[in-house]
Chain A
């Protein structure tokens, strides 16, 4: 009998633990962070925290797509942790950044260095390693406070834009763990995509006119986000920017390339735009006459999108060799340009060339690893491109 009583009491005691081990916080009392902007000014970190704040249209819908559905709070502190801790005081809700989508670094904090950023987001249990990272020339605060006209949530919109840019060869996604991995690496440098704000009327004047009658967002200061190249870091600090026109080559070399439309123009074959896809790249380090170089072979297939041939030219049917050669020249120039900018001008390796050398020539690496900068600056490169147009579209080349 006593045993039964003890068993029941024990069970009840254990049941009491099922209520959880933290005090309850209602969802309405949580400020769900969507994006965090980090700037650095006057020896202080300034955080701009974009919080999900649904704004209904007054009817049954909780979210009105014509509104921002977010608000931004700004805090500052000597460290990111201190700044974050003050965020609760600014708006009364408990900050929750477990579902944070983006970390946007302003130019000032990028130049200050990634150390504090990586330390905070690496240590804190709420933050996850797959959050996207971006850099902006200027202040991150401006991006997060801008009235972005695309989509429901600004942070979600930015995320989608970056994803679409990756699919079309305009940029690539970088996660926090990618940045942390390259930051901790003794050989690779960090590279993070850059975004910028543009006025909405610059991109779609007609659209703005249609929307202005009904939309609260586009009231003369509505903005759109676009990609603006890549930022590269050296020793965790912002070194330089690489222009948007070079991002395709970077994407190919980083083996993140999916597809992109390449335009070739010449007097002999006219103008053609071909979508290249299924890119395969081989990068082989090689020592020749004591000098280290990398052989880069890119093979890609192409789909014809558009061809305009000059009037006076005979056009062989299903003969695209000249266009392929032209495209190969275009892509080779882009890759050569990017390699020169990164390796020669800025002495940084964002393409894991050093890791390849380490694997293939371990004794060479062991002898020279104390002067990686020298290896990078003296690294030769031979680029060979092979474009194969195997899909012509529904129209053959014609006058």
Chain B
């Protein structure tokens, strides 16, 4: 009764959100890996990600209505609020990181002398408006721009084919196993959409597992193509670039169609908006489950203030940007939120269900998505 978006809409939201990160930053940021190591690592990471979501899928098969947070309340009673706030804070941090990334790109690649304060304020306001409109609105926007993005991406890809040099894809000479391992973990950490998926799960109709697999496979293919292009076209030059894919678009051309960097900029800002909005909505949904009596407007006001202050403070410090990005992209965080915590809740849920005298209590705790 609370399923509001289709599997395809969820898929596009997650896909756009995932690809945004890869379009923005250097794949070598934070880890000096060979291009081939990243390609192999991201492929293996696909299978690792399929494995780590097994506990959450098992849990959701048992919970007919609800998500990880309601399951947490079912298992731990009022202490379930801790789980709700862990996910809420994580979602807010990802939202902040997305906005900071967006402003960092604009400040460095587009408007180097601009006063970004007004941009930040407007952007956060728009994100908030999008989140208030609800998951249906966000998913519809993402569905429309998803199509534009795929077409534009294929266009850019076609323009770069003539510049691909396969000799830039050299074997991994130094510690290949270690490099691939780091790449696997790095890919896992960058896939914050795994957390988004498990929280948006109950909002989706249709075959959610099929949706998830489609998202995982297509996003991996897209990331592979991006990494392949950066490695084979730019080679070692990519290591000195903050936004290598943006540089690729300045080189890409097809016949009279040049300066595709402007296309990149236009689409990119929309992708940033969709990603930030999605995570702000997720943060709101987590908080509203834990505080069902608090009005929607108050929750969004608090989120708006928290994000605005954080973004203004973080974007003025390069160290803060680096630390935040390192924290968000840490594979450990995703592992905890997507695998360890759901696994613990699943085990406790099974244990409680099998040992409970009154099985109705497992379901009717009063905490549910219906509160939203």
Contact = CB atoms under 8 A, between A and B. Distances in A.
Interface of A: 10, 14, 17, 21-22, 122, 125, 128-130, 175, 177, 180-181, 183-186, 352, 355-356, 358-359, 362, 365-366, 369
Interface residues of B, number: 33
Given A128-B261, A359-B170, A184 B250 contact: no
B292 interface: no
B118 to A, nearest CB: 6
B119 A21 contact: yes
Contacts of A184: 235-237, 239-240
Contacts, number: 68
B237 A366 contact: no
A21 B237 contact: no
5 contacts: A17-B118, A125-B112, A130-B250, A184-B240, A362-B171
* A22, A186, A365 — most chain B CB neighbours (10 Å): A22
B171 A129 contact: no
A356 B167 CA distance: 6
Contacts of A369: 173
Contacts of A177: 234, 237, 247, 251
A125 B126 contact: no
A330 to B, nearest CB: 28
Contact of A14 (B109, B116, B125, B247): B125
* B167, B169, B171, B250 — most chain A CB neighbours (10 Å): B167
Contacts of A355: 167-168, 170
A365 B167 CA distance: 14
Nearest to A124: B112
A180 B247 CA distance: 12
Nearest to A188: B235
Contacts of B110: 125
A366 B122 CA distance: 53
A304 to B, nearest CB: 30
Contacts of A180: 237, 240
A366 B116 CA distance: 48
Contacts of B109: 125
A359 B122 contact: no
A125 B173 contact: no
Contacts of B108: 125
B235 A181 contact: yes
B173 A14 contact: no
Contacts of B125: 10, 14
Given A14-B126, A177-B247, A122 B240 contact: yes
A175 B247 CA distance: 13
- Nearest 6 A/B pairs, CB to CB: A355-B167, A184-B236, A21-B114, A181-B237, A362-B171, A17-B122
A122 B118 contact: no
B114 A22 contact: yes
B225 to A, nearest CB: 19
A21 B112 contact: no
Nearest to A184: B236
Nearest to A183: B237
Interface string B234-262: 11110111000001001101000000010
A129 B235 contact: no
A201 to B, nearest CB: 37
B113 interface: yes
B115 interface: yes
Contacts of A22: 111, 113-114
B238 to A, nearest CB: 9
Given A17-B122, A185-B235, A129 B173 contact: no
